[in-house]
Amino acid sequence: MIKKIIDSIAQDKKDHVLLGVFIGYPLIIIGFVIDQIFNIDFMLVSGGIIAIILVGLKEIIHDWYQGKGNPELADFIYSAVPILFPLTTYLI
């Protein structure tokens, strides 16, 4: 059942999820480490926001402006969701 669901998702969307994971998680972890070192509570969220901006810029610059891909809102959403999950968990 789960395999059918995963197989029904387009390969392009799976690639965007991995892009969000590979860009978002390191920035969030770096932000968390900075928060712990300097005893502030801001950089983790900033890392997540920077990651979301980066995946948005990827859609705008790489796909739309340079014409190397197909700019889609769905691609941005698939890239942003893995970044938003840990942010939401942290903020709750």
Any idea what the Cα angle at residue 15 is, between residues 14 and 17, rounded to 5°? 65
* Confidence category of residue 91, pLDDT binned at 50, 70, 90: confident
Answer whether 87's CB lies under 8 Å from 45's CB.
yes
* Confidence category of residue 20, pLDDT binned at 50, 70, 90: very high
The burial of 2, by beta-carbon neighbours within 10 Å (0-12 exposed, 13-18 middle, 19 or more buried), is given as exposed
- Residue range 36-76, pLDDT digits in tens: 999 998 899 999 999 999 999 999 999 999 989 889 999 99
Residue type, 92: I
Look at residue 46 in the predicted model and tell me its pLDDT: 94
Q: Record the pTM.
A: 0.88
Look at residue 1 in the predicted model and tell me its pLDDT: 87
The residue-averaged pLDDT of 12-27 equals 94
Buried b / exposed e over 5-23, threshold 16 CB at 10 Å, is: eeeeeeeeeeebeebbbeb
